[in-house]
Amino acid sequence: MKIIVTGCKGQLGAEIMKQLREGRSEIGPIPEKLLNATVIAADLPELDISNYKMVDDFIRRQRPDVIINCAAYTNVDGCEVNHDAAFKANAIGPRNLAQAAEKTGARLVHVSTDYVFSGRENGGVEQDEATLPDPISAYGSTKLMGERYVEQFCHRHFIVRTAWLYSYYGKNFVKTIVNAGKKFGKLEVVNDQRGNPTNAVDLAHEILQLCVTHEYGLYHCTGEGVCSWYDFASEIIRLSGVDATVAPCTSEEYKAKHPESADRPKWSALDNRMLRCTVGNQVRPWQEALACFFAHWDGDNGMKN
């Protein structure tokens, strides 16, 4: 089997590459079909997924069985001021991959986000795959367009929405909170936006379970359990042992101090219903996955030996 991983240098891409290399994750083994896979890592500048001809030539030449698209413009605030760049990466890129995958018969796994939802219809019910999207930010709208292009142009697709992702690799909320706690000793974090913290280990594990099947469709894949950013930050500080305090604030208070920030969904908790009903949901409770992260994280950009 031949697999292309786009965005291989990012949080999720690096974790997927690691699991393919090692043959297992913290949760368990990867599928047997992937144990001797030929893995092609792709990222900028070698592959710009927003360039149709570059993608078409690359996929036609490599002829993969599976394409896992982890490439995206994920800076939520940056998407507001660089809307064209966000659209190219988050919408046109997936379209190009979908068309190339359809031509060559490859399966396409495309990673999307909870930000396709408005977060206004709270109600305390986790949103499953049947919930209609309604994004309120440039990031959310461009990612939704990417989903639609994938659905339209590639029959063999898995669209996997995740949320609040963190990893041993790259920048993320967990590392930001740890570093800010060390630097300032006192943090303010919003307490009225709720969702699901997700360890990239869990997401990568589920993607690799899915991609050898024909269980095509739309999936939610997030850490089990719901919390606020304040709850998440408080647990991060507790597990890290950093001498810092975390105080709650409202979204409005945060926006007043950071007027350039994009609107975020106040309720974007997802339910992994499709996973449960098909290949099985092995994603861990978010507290357990976070504790495992701190047990293995080297404090920088990788894992302890």
User: Is 139 one of the annotated active-site residues of the chain?
Assistant: yes
Residue 137, token pair as written in the block: 């930010």
Q: Tell me which of 73, 115, 139, 166 is the catalytic residue.
A: 139
Backbone angles phi, psi at 26, to 5 degrees: -65, -25
Say which residue the tokens 């998440």 belong to. 232
Report how far residue 250's alpha carbon sits from residue 255's, in angstroms, rounded to the nearest whole number: 9
Give the position of tokens 């095509």.
Answer: 216
By the 8 A CB rule, do 159 and 270 touch? no
∠ CA(145), CA(150), CA(152), 5° rounding? 95
Packing angle between helix 229-240 and helix 173-184, nearest 10 degrees? 70
How many other C-beta atoms are found inside a 10 Å radius of the C-beta of residue 300?
9
* Catalytically annotated residues: 139
